[in-house]
């Protein structure tokens, strides 16, 4: 009797499991190319002015960036690495530019950070740290790839750590700094951690 009850319970569980997962899978689902180019290592286009979108404005190619879905209904992108070569001097080109994508208009906007379409001078930027827990219009996180990001209940973006290469030919290392970005004010705040590479916590 116990075996029968167990078998019935297992069958009910299996039926529910398969039903739930069948609802998740859609054989008719399709991808849609929304924006961007197919060029390898595209340098992007900042537009005519920071904060002003155009139809051609777009971020450069990158990997290991941080992304958020904002409470404003837009998509946000920060940092990552642009790899434009095989040698050390042209690899590890970390960035600290911030972009916003308007889903309704299908346009990108360069919100802030360092960006260049013609040279590598913006790669490996050191950022502007200022005092801890102090918000300022000129403050900016160090360039990085592979950082961890999240959004809190108030819609504030957070960025922690990552890997950085200081300057085009600079030293490399890992970061443990914590930053927040407020969409309403458009300002960064250095909350905690080290200004520079770190090898251990405390």
pLDDT score for 1 = 55
pLDDT score for 18 = 39
Task: Write down the pTM of the prediction.
Answer: 0.81
Domain holding 105: CATH number?
2.120.10.80
Residue 92, in any domain of the structure: yes
Mean pLDDT, all residues of the chain: 83
Lowest mean pLDDT among 42-46, 76-80, 101-105, 134-138: 42-46
pLDDT score for 148 = 97
pLDDT score for 34 = 87
Most confident residue range from 6-15, 80-89, 134-143 = 134-143
pLDDT score for 107 = 95
**Domain tally, the chain:** 1
Residue 158, in any domain of the structure: yes
| Residues 3-60 pLDDT 10s | 545 444 544 444 444 344 434 556 788 888 888 887 777 888 887 788 898 898 999 8
| Residues 180-190 pLDDT 10s | 999 999 999 99
Residue 143, in any domain of the structure: yes
Residue 36, in any domain of the structure: no
Residue 2, in any domain of the structure: no
Residue 13, in any domain of the structure: no
pLDDT score for 3 = 53
pLDDT score for 92 = 79
Please give the residue range of the domain that contains residue 144.
41-192
User: DSSP for the chain?
Assistant: -HHHHHHHHHHHHHHHHHHHHHHH--TT------S----TT---B--SBTTB--SS-BPPP-BS-EEEE-TTS-EEEEEEEE---SSGGGS-EEEEEEEEEETTTTEEEEEES---SS-STTTT---B--STT-EETT-BPPPBBS-EEEE-TTS-EEEEEEEEE-STT--EEEEEEEEEEETTTTEEEEEES-SS--S---
193 has pLDDT over 80:
yes
2 has pLDDT over 60:
no
Q: Between 150 and 119, where is the model more confident?
A: 150
Residue 25, in any domain of the structure: no
Residue 23, in any domain of the structure: no
């Amino acid at each position: 009797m116990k075996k029968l009850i167990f078998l019935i319970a297992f069958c009910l569980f299996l039926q529910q499991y398969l039903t739930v997962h069948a609802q998740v899978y859609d054989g008719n689902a399709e991808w849609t190319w929304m924006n961007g180019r197919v060029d390898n290592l595209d340098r992007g286009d900042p537009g005519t002015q920071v904060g002003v979108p155009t139809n051609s404005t777009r971020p450069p190619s990158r990997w290991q960036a941080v992304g958020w879905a904002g409470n404003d209904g837009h998509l946000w992108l920060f940092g990552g690495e642009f790899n434009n070569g095989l040698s050390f001097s042209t690899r590890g080109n970390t960035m600290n530019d911030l972009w916003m994508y308007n889903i309704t208009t299908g346009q990108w906007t360069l919100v802030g950070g360092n960006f260049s379409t013609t040279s590598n001078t913006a790669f490996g930027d050191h950022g502007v740290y200022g005092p801890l827990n102090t918000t300022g219009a000129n403050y900016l996180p160090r360039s990085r790839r592979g950082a961890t990001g999240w959004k809190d209940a108030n819609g504030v973006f957070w960025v922690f750590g990552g890997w950085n290469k200081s300057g085009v030919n600079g030293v490399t290392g890992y970061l443990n700094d914590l930053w927040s970005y407020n969409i309403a004010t458009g300002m960064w705040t250095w909350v905690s951690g080290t200004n520079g590479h770190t090898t251990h916590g405390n």
